[in-house]
Structure 1
Amino acid sequence: MRTLDEIKDRCVITDEGHWLWRGALRPDGRPNIFAPDYTRAEGQMRTQCGMRAVWHCVHQKAVPEGYRVYGTCDERACCNPAHVKCTSEVDYGAWLQRTGKFKGQTNRILANRAIGRQRAGLTPEQIVYVQTSEKTGIALAEELGVSTATLSKYRRGESIAVRASGGLFSGLIGGRP
């Protein structure tokens, strides 16, 4: 697909104005389009995500460093250039927060919890040690390899992101009365 018209010809146009790609799709449902890639291949033809391919066909230049190309509609297979936007990572994050696009998605919630557990980095025994120790926060943070902010949360009892010893549902199963 060298031009936007070629991409449009491979799409089904809906009443809402979406251009739904009829070609190959990626596992997540986004279009997989062979088009000029000005960002990574200096304009040579290359398979890329549909939104990025559309942006390259329209603008015929590289995506600026620190910017992201994304679709603004709810149709993952949409290739309408009016539904494709290129903004900085900061603006993209603000847009995600404003629209709530990923809010309530179980896989994202679980991923964020896993990140929190990794950042926590202390076992329940270490947390008790932190809460009962008379050492300074700086000394304890250095000793345990965590930030002073994380340590302060443990001391105040605010941090609850700890690893369960037997798995996610270990407290539900077992011989406890």
Structure 2
Amino acid sequence: MTATPLSLALHSPRRGCRIAHGAPMLPPYKFRVDDNHCWLWLGATIVNRSGDLYGVCKIKQVQHLVHRVMYEEYHGPIPEGYDVHHVCDVTLCGNPAHLQSVIAVGNRVMMTRKRKGRKQ
């Protein structure tokens, strides 16, 4: 499902993300919308090797990264060899309009450049 203004209104962070049979995939209270329209994950988190914080959730007893779940819910499967990139650069953001699939190598290069820019 492509994220459109209508789909985003029907599947807002306050109403919860719904899968095909109507059961909530992610509870609505787990997001807070900030001034930049980021849907900030309020649930469990992990820190990667680079120190970035990511939201995680369990679906059927399996841990998943929230931004990947949201991407697949709204845009479909993540193509093989691709990562989900946060256009807003907020790793806790789950807003489907802020997520895009990019070639994995390209995503890592972009992240490295941004980190170097932060240290200067």
TM range (shorter): 0.5 to 0.7
**Cα distance, 1:56 vs structure 2:** 1.7
One-letter amino acid of the counterpart of residue 35, structure 2: D
Name the structure, 1 or 2, with higher relative contact order (CA <8 Å, separation 6+).
Answer: 2
One-letter amino acid of the counterpart of residue 107, structure 2: Y
Q: Do residues 16 (structure 1) and 36 (structure 2) align?
A: yes
**Cα distance, 1:66 vs structure 2:** 1.2
TM-score relative to the length of structure 2: 0.60
Query: Who is 2:13 aligned against?
Result: none
More helix by share: 1
Point out 4+ residue stretches in structure 1 off by more than 2 angstroms.
1-8, 89-94
Q: Which residues of 2 match residues 58-73 of structure 1 at below 5 A?
A: 58-61=74-77, 63-73=78-88
CA contact (8 A) 1:13 1:19 kept: yes
Matched-pair identity in %: 27
Partner Cα distance (2:94, 2:27) in 1 = 8
**Gap regions ≥5 residues in structure 1:** 36-43, 107-177
Query: Who is 2:69 aligned against?
Result: 53
Partner Cα distance (1:101, 1:87) in 2 = 16
More strand by share: 2
**Cα distance, 1:51 vs structure 2:** 1.3
Q: Which residues of 2 match residues 25-174 of structure 1 at below 5 A?
A: 25-27=45-47, 28-35=52-59, 46-61=62-77, 63-93=78-108, 96=110, 100-104=113-117
Partner Cα distance (1:59, 1:45) in 2 = 23
**Cα distance, 1:93 vs structure 2:** 5.0
RMSD: 3.1
1:36-90 Cα distance to aligned partner (Å, 9 max, x none) = xxxxxxxx773211211111211343x2221111212232211111111111134
**Cα distance, 1:105 vs structure 2:** 6.0
TM-score relative to the length of structure 1: 0.43
Partner Cα distance (1:52, 1:23) in 2 = 15
Structure number, greater radius of gyration: 1
Indicate how the Cα distance of structure 1 residues 51 and 86 shifts in structure 2: closer, same or farther if over 3 A, else same. same
